[in-house]
Each structure stands twice: as structure tokens, then as C-alpha cells.
Amino acid sequence: MRLGTVARSGSTQAFRQEAGETVYLPVPDVGALLAGGDLSLPGEPGPAPAPEELLTPVLRPGKILCAGLNFHDHAEEVGQEIPEHPTIFAKYANALVGPVDPIAMPEESEKIDWEAELVAVIGTTVRHADAGRARAAIAGYTIMNDVSVRDWQGRTSEWFQGKNFDRTTPVGPVVVTPDEVDPEAGLAVRCTVDGVRHQDSSTDRMIFSAVQLVEYLTRFMTLEPGDLVACGTPAGVGLAKKPRRIWLRDGQEVVTEIEGIGELRNVCTPAEDLLPR
Amino acid sequence: MRLGTVARSGSTQAFRQEAGETVYLPVPDVGALLAGGDLSLPGEPGPAPAPEELLTPVLRPGKILCAGLNFHDHAEEVGQEIPEHPTIFAKYANALVGPVDPIAMPEESEKIDWEAELVAVIGTTVRHADAGRARAAIAGYTIMNDVSVRDWQGRTSEWFQGKNFDRTTPVGPVVVTPDEVDPEAGLAVRCTVDGVRHQDSSTDRMIFSAVQLVEYLTRFMTLEPGDLVACGTPAGVGLAKKPRRIWLRDGQEVVTEIEGIGELRNVCTPAEDLLPR
């Protein structure tokens, strides 16, 4: 099953896809669908949405929890030990954009980098989960590009300010339920910039699996429907390129793919050229 | 003017206090009042609420942005240079409790510490603010104790997981508008544990003022009504005590005061003894 959110005549609407059929649902987004607790909610059949109609599936996630340093190949390329505990940082919804929206390139930086990531979307309220309950709390998986403003990220010990520029983080295109995709079995994760493939790894190279991250997070906090858990990026980020670092430039197209889920396709656009939302 | 939120017959309600009179308002909390944009909303006069009726003023802030290392005396006690840029980390609403609620002491740690802090409460949507607009965007000030789980905070470079245990962060008792309190003029900030005063500083010793923090944050993100900006803690945290560190223990009462705003009064209570919310 695939769940998504579209823009529709000035409003928004969730949809469900199964066995080639699309059903439009009486809720404004996948977040509301998950909060309602009934994924089989009745709706109206309709044509499959065009890619450009798709919005980020959960419009205003309550939490966007991100794991850093969570791929063996990425920890190695940035010269870090394999960590004993997950490294967690936070984003807020203002950072998000949809699967084909422009990435708002801040003029305050020239060191803007890509980070293809798997995202687990939480479907139930959960605290103190064991592995089984953590697995059951994941409603499905989607894709993020955790576009990172490296100079701001490195200003202090806390990465927050490099990870929260408005409209820099595409998420989508849909949420795919766990019966259709199994990250632990290995899903290809790729990031391509203007046709050059920079990241090409697999979700089975994660240090902590999505299930383990959910289990860990619920040791200290309650997760709720619509919360996102981003699982970290593999090797190939611009920061680690040799002999010199590479950064995103205005006008470039970033394609972020995860096998079995789909792709994000976003053009780097000067933030000052974008209309306020 | 003072704005607050009370529990009322199974629901919640905002109130406003001015010239000794309390008016109960037709909105569920200070967050909804700020989002509505009309602080002079008509309501019903009533008796002043008892301290034990008070909830955290904004029940579910969209963002809780916290500055670390923002007092000259605290940076010194933990051996850090005076930073060039604010250090920012994030909390989510699940961490919050009210001004007289128990602090939920996680059994996963024995290194739980106090951090008295001034909080600016955002009243308008604001981005790219200069100092004047940043000042105008602050609806008022309240108090936080950024209770910190030090061992989890120090597990990785990112402090997030030590700052987001459920129900560890009291905020309140009310939001006081800037015509009544001026942090730049110096408001006493104090934290007392079982009658022993550990923190006793003034908001004029902040490295970045509340207005400067709002200005800085809006360089990269949009702030919205009800967002909280916590301004960092002064010297005197348990982590920096000599000859040995001191931590909070179950049963202790933590009193957090800021001159002109009021106080938080919270008892450290084992998390497992608290009912689920």
C-alpha cells in the first residue's frame, strides 16, 4: 500500500494506492490518516496523481527526528568511529518541501550538501517499545534529502542550525507500507546531482536499523502518528569528496531514490526567488 | 499583562490578567490566543486561578528552540570560550510539564541536572527580522527549567537525547508581556533545590539577548506564534559543581524563579510512578 498527499483545488487531500487503484480519502494528509488510525478509510476512486501534484505526505509532522552517522560507509568517509549510541538531531516542519518542489538555497551559505535518507513514518503512539512494538509502530517508509548547510551546521557543536533552513528538506513522494518494502533486506539508496551519481548504497549498511532507532527513541520520548524518523545518509556526501569538497549550486537538479519507494526530484533555487508560502 | 492556561472541568482554557483582574478567554491555551492574534479577546471575569490549576501556557508549541552556552558565567564554569554564534538545540512538546507538575525522573539516568532559563514566547510569524521586528515578535516572557539528563546528553555530539525525556521540562507559570518585564535591564534568575540556592544570576549576563536570539533564528527559519525560545542557563548547574558534581534526586523540590515573572515549583518524581498522560 502506498499513501500520499496531493494539492487539490486550494486544499490538500490524502490518497491510498493498492493493486494499481487510487482512492482519494476524506482527510487532508497522511498525517491525519495515521492519526485517525484507520488506513482502510473509505474514499473515492480516481486517477493516479501526477508527480507534480504530490506534496510531502505528512504536511506538519509533530517531530522530525534524524539520525546522524548511521551508515558504516558514511561514518568512515567523515573519519568517525562506529558509534555506540545513535546520534539524534531534530528538524521542524518549516524545513520540509514536497517531492518535486524547489530546494530553497539560502544566500547565507555556499556550502550546501545533499544527504539521501530513508525515513520511517510512525503510525501509532509508542513509548518504551521492544523490537516487536517498534516494528509495529512503523506505518511505512518514505524518502528524505536532508539537505545540509554545512557552514552553519559546523558553527557550534549542535548541528541544528545547518539542518533547519526553511524549505530545504524534500520528503516524499509517498509512504510505502512495510509489507511492500523491507529496509533490513537492503534497498538501494541513491543521490544524483545533474546526472552525476554521488551516493549509491543500501539500507542494509545502516548501523542502527529503522526499527532499532524507533526502539531507542522510545526509551526517552513518546513517538506519535505522523512523526518522522530519518535514518541517516550513506557515503558520498559533498563534504567528504576528494580531492576537494563539492557543494550544490543554483539550478542543479537533485534526484534522491530509494528502491521500492520512488524518487524525489528537486531543483536548487535561490531562496529569494521563491514566493513566501 | 499576564497570560496563562488553566485546567477546567476536563478541558483547558486561557486567561488574561491585567490590573489585578482575571478574565477567562474562549480559547484552549495561550498558544491559540497568540495564533488568533488578538490579545484583547473578550472573555469572562473570574477569580484568579490557584497555582495548582496552572498548566504550561502553550500546551503544544510548534517549536521549542533552546540556546546553550548563553551566559558568560555558565560558559566560564563549563570551560567554554564565549561563542561567536548562538548554540541552538531543539525540544518537542512531549518534554514539557506545567509549573507545579512533577518532573518525571527517568530511571535510565542518575545524572539529572537543573537549568533555570528565561523563555521568549513568539507572538507573530516572523522571518529575516531585524532587531526591531525581532523585539516586536516577542509576545512575552516565561520560565523554563531545562532539566538535562547529562549522561544521555553527552552520549554523542548532539545534546538532543538528554534534553527530550518525556515530562522533564517545566515551563510557566504565565507569559508576561514585555511592557512589564525587560530582560535586558536585568531580571534575577534563580534555581533552588530543597532550599539550597544553586543558581543566582541575572538576565543581563546573557551573551545573546532574547531579541538577538530571535533575530538570529529568523535568519534561517520562520518562527510562528506559540514557538518558545529558551535563552540558556546561568552558572550553578550540578554538572559544574566542585569538588564534585551534584545531581537531582527523587523527592527533591526544584524552585525556578525569574524576577517579575514568577516561579516554577516541581518535585522530582520517578517517571514510573507517574500515570500516563
Are residues A108 and B220, on separate chains, in Cβ contact within 8 Å? yes
The rounded percent of chain B whose pLDDT value lies above 90 is 95
Are residues B160 and A90, on separate chains, in Cβ contact within 8 Å? yes
The answer to whether the CB of A161 falls within 8 A of the CB of A152 is yes
Whole-angstrom CA distances from B161 to B150, B156, B176, B195 are 9, 9, 30, 29
CA dihedral B229, A221, A158, A242 (to 10 degrees): -140
Q: Is residue A9 part of a domain?
A: no
| Nearest CA-CA distance, residue A155 and chain B, Å | 7
Within 10 A of B251 (CB to CB), how many other CB atoms are there?
11
Q: How many domains does chain B have?
A: 1
Q: Is residue A70 part of a domain?
A: yes
What is the residue type of B96? L
Q: Is residue B24 part of a domain?
A: no
Over residues B239-268, the mean pLDDT reads: 97
A90, A156, A220: residue with CB nearest B90: A90
Return the half-sphere exposure (C-beta side, CA atoms, 13 A cut-off) of residue A23: 16
State pLDDT tens for residues A13-56: 999 999 999 999 999 999 999 999 999 999 999 999 999 999 99
Give the distance, in angstroms, between the CA of residue A263 and the centroid of all CA atoms in the same chain. Answer: 11
Over residues B25-49, the mean pLDDT reads: 97
Nearest to B154 by CA among A247, A108, A157: A157
Residues of B in contact with A229 (CB under 8 A): none
pLDDT band for position A166 (50/70/90)? very high
List all residues 6 or more positions away from A60 whose beta carbon is below 8 Å from its beta carbon: A31, A93
Q: How many Å apart are CA A141 and CA B231, to the nearest integer?
A: 36
pLDDT band for position B53 (50/70/90)? very high
Are residues A94 and B152, on separate chains, in Cβ contact within 8 Å? no
Supply the pLDDT for residue B94: 97
> What is the value of ipTM here, to two decimals?
0.96
C-alpha cell at B7: 485546567
Residues of B in contact with A152 (CB under 8 A): 220
The rounded percent of chain A whose pLDDT value lies above 90 is 95
B62, B68, B106: residue with CB nearest A220: B106
Are residues A108 and B157, on separate chains, in Cβ contact within 8 Å? no
Assess whether pLDDT exceeds 80 at residue A170.
yes
Supply the pLDDT for residue B78: 87
Assess whether pLDDT exceeds 80 at residue A145.
yes
pLDDT band for position B9 (50/70/90)? confident
Q: Is residue A50 part of a domain?
A: no
Nearest to B40 by CA among B65, B18, B58: B18
Mutation choice for A interface testing from B147, B148, B160, B167 by most A CBs within 10 A: B160
Assess whether pLDDT exceeds 90 at residue A183.
yes
Q: Is B92 on the interface with A (CB under 8 A)?
A: yes
DSSP, residue by residue, A10-64: TEEEEEEEETTEEEE-SSSSHHHHHHHT-TT---EEEPPPPGGGEE-SSSS-S-E
Over residues A173-182, the mean pLDDT reads: 98
Over residues A217-239, the mean pLDDT reads: 97
Are residues B220 and A85, on separate chains, in Cβ contact within 8 Å? no
Over residues B21-28, the mean pLDDT reads: 98
Q: Is A35 on the interface with B (CB under 8 A)?
A: no
What is the residue type of B72? H
Mutation choice for A interface testing from B161, B167, B229 by most A CBs within 10 A: B161
Q: Which of A158-167, A225-234, A238-247 has the lowest mean pLDDT?
A: A238-247
The residue range of the domain holding A103 is 58-273
Assess whether pLDDT exceeds 80 at residue B277.
no
| Nearest CA-CA distance, residue B228 and chain A, Å | 13
Are residues A166 and B219, on separate chains, in Cβ contact within 8 Å? no
Assess whether pLDDT exceeds 90 at residue B140.
yes
Residues of A in contact with B106 (CB under 8 A): 220
- CA terminus-to-terminus distance, chain B: 31
Q: How many Å apart are CA B214 and CA B217, to the nearest integer?
A: 5
Supply the pLDDT for residue A275: 82
Assess whether pLDDT exceeds 80 at residue A179.
yes
For chain A, give me the number of helices (H) and strands (E)?
5, 19
List all residues 6 or more positions away from A215 whose beta carbon is below 8 Å from its beta carbon: A129, A130, A131, A134
Supply the pLDDT for residue B275: 81
Supply the pLDDT for residue B276: 78
Q: Is residue B188 part of a domain?
A: yes
Q: Which of A68-77, B95-104, B256-265 has the lowest mean pLDDT?
A: A68-77
Residues of A in contact with B92 (CB under 8 A): 62-63, 90, 221
Assess whether pLDDT exceeds 80 at residue A277.
no
Supply the pLDDT for residue A9: 83
C-alpha cell at A91: 528538524
Mutation choice for B interface testing from A92, A146, A153 by most B CBs within 10 A: A92
| Nearest CA-CA distance, residue A162 and chain B, Å | 9
Residue at grid coordinates 551566559: B71
Are residues B222 and A95, on separate chains, in Cβ contact within 8 Å? no
Supply the pLDDT for residue A78: 87
State pLDDT tens for residues A86-114: 999 999 999 999 999 999 999 999 999 99
The answer to whether the CB of B171 falls within 8 A of the CB of B144 is yes
Give the distance, in angstroms, between the CA of residue A35 and the centroid of all CA atoms in the same chain. Answer: 19
Q: Is B274 on the interface with A (CB under 8 A)?
A: no
Over residues A221-240, the mean pLDDT reads: 97
| Nearest CA-CA distance, residue A239 and chain B, Å | 18
Q: Is residue B211 part of a domain?
A: yes
The answer to whether the CB of A189 falls within 8 A of the CB of A202 is yes
State pLDDT tens for residues B163-198: 999 999 999 999 999 999 999 999 999 999 999 999
Q: Is B89 on the interface with A (CB under 8 A)?
A: yes
Phi, psi of B34, rounded to the nearest 5 degrees: -65, -40
Q: Is residue B73 part of a domain?
A: yes
Are residues B161 and A63, on separate chains, in Cβ contact within 8 Å? no
Q: Is B24 on the interface with A (CB under 8 A)?
A: no
pLDDT band for position B272 (50/70/90)? very high
Supply the pLDDT for residue A276: 78
Are residues A158 and B85, on separate chains, in Cβ contact within 8 Å? no
State pLDDT tens for residues A56-74: 999 999 999 999 999 999 8
Q: How many Å apart are CA B232 and CA B57, to the nearest integer?
A: 19
Question: What is the average pLDDT value for chain B, to the nearest integer?
Answer: 97
Q: Is B59 on the interface with A (CB under 8 A)?
A: no
Q: Is residue B1 part of a domain?
A: no
Supply the pLDDT for residue A89: 98
Are residues B158 and A87, on separate chains, in Cβ contact within 8 Å? yes
Are residues A152 and B92, on separate chains, in Cβ contact within 8 Å? no
Q: What's A211's domain CATH number?
A: 3.90.850.10
